[in-house]
């Protein structure tokens, strides 16, 4: 039998460690709550600090899209908006867009290593910065701080370590 006729299932990379596709609901939702708590730290409002909730939403949208719902991303966004006094709904829209675009790419991303995933996820990690800049421009604040774009780059750098941590 040729390699082509075996299909994609036989060529899927072997997961030598714990496969996150079999994670329990407690682990999935517990890591989401923990990453939301990390985003509530005072340091998380600095522009040079990645959003751990975005990283976790992206990770679980790739590995368990059946457990990550848009209302869940929206609810975490409203909870995040209530803390720093941001425009109500700003993070909710951002998290819903992040989950949507990640789920569009989830099949392709599940085949890649975490380093290759981080390169492919660059546009998704920049969605919060782009939306924040558009919002600042619409409310008459100019284009906002350009340092906010460092969060996307830091998310790319932290992605392999975050994948390793959540896959345990």
5 pLDDT more than 70: no
For residues 16 and 38, the model is more confident at 38
Asked whether the predicted pLDDT for residue 2 surpasses 60, the reply is no
Q: What whole-number distance in Å separates Cα of residue 55 and Cα of residue 25?
A: 18
Specify the pTM.
Answer: 0.84
Query: For the chain, what is the radius of gyration of the CA atoms?
Result: 17
pLDDT in tens, 117-147: 999 999 999 998 898 888 878 877 776 677 7
């Amino acid at each position: 039998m040729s390699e082509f006729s075996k299909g994609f299932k036989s060529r899927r990379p072997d997961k030598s460690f714990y496969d996150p596709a079999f994670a329990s609901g407690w682990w999935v939702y517990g890591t989401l709550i923990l990453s939301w708590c990390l985003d509530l730290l005072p340091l998380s409002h600095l522009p040079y600090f990645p959003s751990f909730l975005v990283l976790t939403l992206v990770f679980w949208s790739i590995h368990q899209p059946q457990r990550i719902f848009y209302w869940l991303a929206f609810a975490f966004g409203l909870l995040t908006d209530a803390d720093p006094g941001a425009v109500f709904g700003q993070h909710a829209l951002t998290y819903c867009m992040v989950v949507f675009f990640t789920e569009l790419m989830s099949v392709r991303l599940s085949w890649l290593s975490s380093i290759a995933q981080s390169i492919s996820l660059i546009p998704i990690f920049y969605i919060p910065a782009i939306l924040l800049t558009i919002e600042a421009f619409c409310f008459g604040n100019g284009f906002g701080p350009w340092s906010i774009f460092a969060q996307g780059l830091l998310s790319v750098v932290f992605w392999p370590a975050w994948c390793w941590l959540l896959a345990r």
